[in-house]
Structure 1
Amino acid sequence: MERLPLAFLATIFWVNLLAFLNFSSVFVAMVEIGHAIKAPDTMILQLPTALYAAIACAAPATPYLLQRLGPRRLLMFSMIGLSATTVLASQCQNFWQLMAVLFLHGLFCAPISPATQAAVKDNIPDRDLGIGMAIWGAGNYAGGLVGPLLAGIMVTVFGWRSIFIIPLPFVLLAFPLVMTAIKSTADRTARPDAVSMLMAPIAMLFLVATASLGPSLSWFSSPLVMFCAVGLAFSFPLFVWSYRRSTSTAFHMGCLLDRFSGLSLLIVFGFNMVSTGLFQVEFLGKDPILTPEVIGLRSSIAAGTLLLGFIISGWLCQKHSYATGLFGGLALTFVAKVGYLFYNDDSSALDAIWPVAFSGVSFGMVTGVVATLAYRTIGKNHAADIATCFILATYLGASLGTGILDEVLVAFDTLFVAQGMAAGAALERAFKSEFWVELVISVLLLWPAWLLLRGLKTPED
């Protein structure tokens, strides 16, 4: 049996860790940062949005960049840009400067996850693809483990600017790993196209911006949201029309029509809609001990259990036990969502951690399995397209989920207040109702999961 390329897998793990370090750190410290730079209260939660809006915007260009530059050179450029922008972020003096720099930082982070996932498909035999995808996913969420722990300590000891220095030592080790373990392949004849490089990124940017800014800025009463919504109304149909008319684009979306890829991406999208964790933290926000250190601890526990979930998924995929991994992961999600329903005014940030742990394991198991099955009938020449769609499904699901579920929360709160409930009781019941909606959406994912597994020819051991 051919041995796994351990140096290659270690590189994939380490480079992916970089992609999530600043995102998780900003999430932990966003309230502290917002107050320090006098950000508008309605915009503080948009600091992480700048990162994943940029990632969704830049992702469609990744297949062309991979083809033109090759994975080694693309990852090197990404890490150089990541390092430069993280230093710039530490020097920002106001909110809008920081938003702009974080957006630029996200543009450099965007190619990392799809490029490394495509590299796993290209370099790992199909029989070991489950292990490869488990390591790929574990690397992504190792950043979510290390980042919050370090950020929680550093923001307290050294101030918020110090968190942006966290990635730099990791980058220094990543450079030699990429140089030695990642192949240098490039097609200098590749040509960019307007659909992949311009129309798709603009449409994705307007989509994420509209969904994310709308709840914070009272939707169409805000000129900024109106601008984004009008931009979306024009850019998205133009993107679809141009894509259908184009004979060759670097970013192919035909993979969505493949049974395994399409259903896997649907599950990823839906799962991320209800797995942001934002509403659990928001519900517990009244707790005075919900400091950066405690948020960092909660985030690190979530990331640590995610790592465990990916390890389990890799082992199950190696045994072709896809149904166990997928349905087992969904079952743990149901347990976690029910746990959120027990939150009340007496719940503290530390008492309410156990549902976070269940959510983490379930997310890792489900994502690891569907990341493997998405490539079941797809050749290596379309690996970059699947990887790009996977990242888009992740970030679009998270941003749309936050926007939609926030409106659900507001609607329930308004309804209960109108029924004569006291403001505090109405808000608590609104949160519980929002958690019920998350549970229902999670249950609905059983249908695409069943359809996905129904198409498998390999029985469980």
Structure 2
Amino acid sequence: MTTTSVNQDKPLPGKPGVAPTFRWAILTLSLSMLLPALSTSIVNVALPSMAEGFSASFQQVQWIVLAYLLAISILIVGVGRLGDIAGRRRLLLAGIAVFTAATFLSGVAPTLWLLIAARAAQGLGAASMMALSMAFVAETVPPSRIGRAMGLLGTMSAVGTALGPSLGGVLIAGFGWRAIFFVTAPLGLLTFVLARRYLPADGPTQKVGRLGFDYVGMLLLALTLGAYLLAVTLEHGVFGTLSLALLLAAVVGLGLFVLVERRATSPLVRLANFRVPVLSAGLAMSAVVSTVMMTTLVVGPFHLSRALGVQTALIGLVMSAGPVVAALTGVPAGRMVDRLGAQRVVFVGLIGMVVGSISMSLVPVSFGIAGYVTSLVVITASYALFQTANNTTVMTGIRADQRGVISGMLNLSRNLGLLTGASVMGAVFAFASGATDITTAASADVATGTRWAFAVAAALITVALGVAVGSRNRSSSDRHD
């Protein structure tokens, strides 16, 4: 990789007596992005074995995944802000330690509910790793290489997502489901050792209590996000009485959060940041694009099995084309960003996603797996371009004391998009198919559902393109004023 050849002998600042290399610092940050993604996808394939082992229902074991995702989404902004205040290196080390310990505890958990609790703790550690790894890029990478570094981090996240199902399947078949945690824990320990040795030391920081960490804002944000995420996951897009009540609670919580942040001396989130076109547009586009990406994961298995008649054993292989393409595109996307500029690559990525979504909506069923995979490759490659460029745009030029919280917000927007997409786009797919039970629907009905779901996806990406154009125009206007 080109990133390993840059500044290999240049010591990173702030680490007295130690001369860590650029290569090792990037490796450390890459592992910090890979492990949270791996810990999401590797558990999904273990759910049937866990249900059997604990004599639990599928709805109960789903909380093993949900607890992890909820913890990340609820806490990621708070830990990012805390890193800005208390020191990113020490909080990243704490996060890796919590992640590693919780991973081991997940492997030895004697009951389902202890496993769920350990997974929630693992999500806390993962939130720190995801938020602070991106925040560290500006401190460890020359400005001319930030695009490549962001591309590499995106690649490692995609590799973790792609590797999880296959690695998990092998481990479960040979050693049982607990092996997936016992393999991940040593990687966490390795990451901790590398981070302690090679990441730059924190500069002078004020004590959290003296600076006034916004605990009230953090609590309100956590409750608001928790209510929203439960609303879009508990009833799987049906939006019954419980989901509507939770959505209402989320709206009320958001209003209270805004009031508190306006009055806070040291707010968790500076609301004035949302008046910056690049940031507000970047967060909005990230959420929309992630919603569309989840469409491929929600609709894909049903389309392949019901509309195309693909055997169950091959569905996972076909679906893995997406993460593999994203992994292969990440670093080249970073090079494009460094050469062409992030803003141009954002437009290229969004246009590519529109083309891929329209293709997925219009391609005849008679084209079979080849037609589906071709459209999927266009969507995921374009997504990798967009994600690398958008992350670079948002994280470049922000104040050093805001990098952690902005990185947390960027990761949160992606997670919200993924969870919303799983619920809303799944509901669009089911409604458009006209079937009462999508698992037994006729192939023609499933194909109709797929067409409409990706037509809506294309419309959403077109909205994101409009946001990108508006952001560019507002930025240009601000420069001329």
Q: TM-score range by the shorter chain?
A: 0.7 to 0.9
* Paired residues of 1:305 and 1:357 also in contact (CA < 8 A): yes
1:204 aligns with 2:238: no
Q: Report the CA distance shift for 1:358/1:409 in structure 2 as closer, same or farther (over 3 A).
A: same
* In 1, Cα distance between equivalents of 2:372 and 2:111: 34
Match of residue 439, structure 1, among 458, 461, 476: 458
Where structure 1 has 5 or more consecutive residues not aligned to the other structure, the ranges are: none
CA-CA distance at 1:274 after TM superposition = 0.7
For residues 345-385 of structure 1, the C-alpha deviation after alignment (integer angstroms, 9 at most, x for no partner) is 9956x984443333332121101101111134422222122
CA contact 2:72–2:124 (8 Å) conserved in 1: yes
Give the SS at the match of 1:90: helix
Structure 2 match to 1:122: 139
Helix, strand or coil: the match of 1:110? helix
Q: Does 1:244 align with 2:262?
A: yes
Partner of 2:413: 393
Aligned partner of 1:6 among 19, 23, 48: 23
Letter in structure 1 aligned against 2:456 = V
Q: C-alpha deviations, 1:272-331, integer Å up to 9, x for none?
A: 01102222124335567435x852x45654333212322122111211343552233223
Partner residue of 1:404? 424
1:18 counterpart residue number:
35
**Post-superposition CA distance 1:229-256 (Å, at most 9, x none):** 4642442222122112223224334322
Q: Deviations over 1:10-62 (max 9, x none)?
A: 22112211121110212344455445545444566664333222111111212
CA distance in 2, matches of 1:165, 1:221: 41
Q: Secondary structure at the match of 1:184?
A: coil
Q: Identity over aligned residues, as a percent?
A: 20
The answer for the alignment partner of 2:17 in structure 1 is none
**1:146-225 paired onto structure 2 within 5 Å:** 146-185=163-202, 187-191=205-209, 192-215=213-236, 218-221=238-241, 225=243
- Relative to structure 1, is the Cα distance of residues 43 and 447 closer, same or farther in structure 2, using a 3 angstrom cutoff? farther
2: CA distance, partners of 1:30 / 1:283: 22
Tell me the amino acid that sits aligned with residue 445 of structure 1: A
Letter in 2 for 1:83: T
1:450 maps to 469
The counterpart of 2:312, out of the listed 282, 290, 295, is 290
Say if 1:46 and 1:213, in contact at 8 Å, map to a contact too: no
CA 187–53 in structure 1, closer or farther in 2 if over 3 Å, else same: same
1:381 has 2:385 as partner = no
Residue in structure 2 matching 1:274, options 288, 292, 295: 292
State the TM-score, normalized to the length of structure 1. 0.85
Does the alignment pair 1:76 with 2:93?
yes
**What is the alpha-carbon distance in structure 1 between the residues aligned to residue 92 and residue 333 of structure 2?**
26
Q: Which runs of 5+ in 2 are unaligned?
A: 9-21
2:13 alignment partner in structure 1: none
How many angstroms apart in 1 are the aligned matches of 2:227 and 2:377?
Answer: 33
Please, which of 232, 248, 252 is the counterpart of residue 250 of structure 2? 232
1:329 corresponding residue in structure 2: 349
Q: Within the alignment, does 1:109 sit opposite 2:126 as a pair?
A: yes
Deviation of 1:398 after TM superposition, in Å, equals 1.0
The aligned length equals 448
Q: Distance in 2 between matches of 1:98 and 1:219?
A: 28
Q: Does 1:254 align with 2:254?
A: no
Which is further off, 184-193 or 43-52?
43-52
Superimposed CA distance per residue, residues 386-410 of structure 1 (whole angstroms, 9 cap, x where no aligned partner): 2111011111111112222122233
Match of 1:141 in 2: 158
Partner of 1:53: 70
| Distance change in 2, residues 1:69/1:146 (3 Å) | farther
Mapped contact 2:171–2:177 kept (Cα < 8 A): yes
Paired residue secondary structure (1:275):
helix
CA contact (8 A) 1:39 1:94 kept: no
Is the contact made by 1:262 and 1:374 (CA closer than 8 Å) also made in structure 2? no
Q: CA deviation at 1:157?
A: 2.8
**Partner Cα separation in structure 2 for residue 346 and residue 29 of structure 1:** 33
Query: C-alpha separation between the residues in 2 aligned to 1:441 and 1:315?
Result: 27
Instruction: Work out the CA distance in 1 between the residues paired with 2:64 and 2:356.
Output: 27
Q: Is the 8 A contact 1:120 1:132 kept in 2?
A: yes
Q: How does 1:412-431 map to 2 (within 5 A)?
A: 412-414=432-434, 425-431=444-450
Instruction: Return closer, same or farther for 1:409/1:99 CA change in 2, 3 Å cut-off.
Output: farther
Scaled by the length of structure 2, the TM-score of the pair is 0.82
1:249 alignment partner, SS class: coil
User: What amino acid is aligned across from residue 429 of structure 1 in structure 2?
Assistant: T
Q: Which letter does structure 2 place at the counterpart of 1:158?
A: F
Which amino acid is the alignment partner of residue 310 of structure 1? G
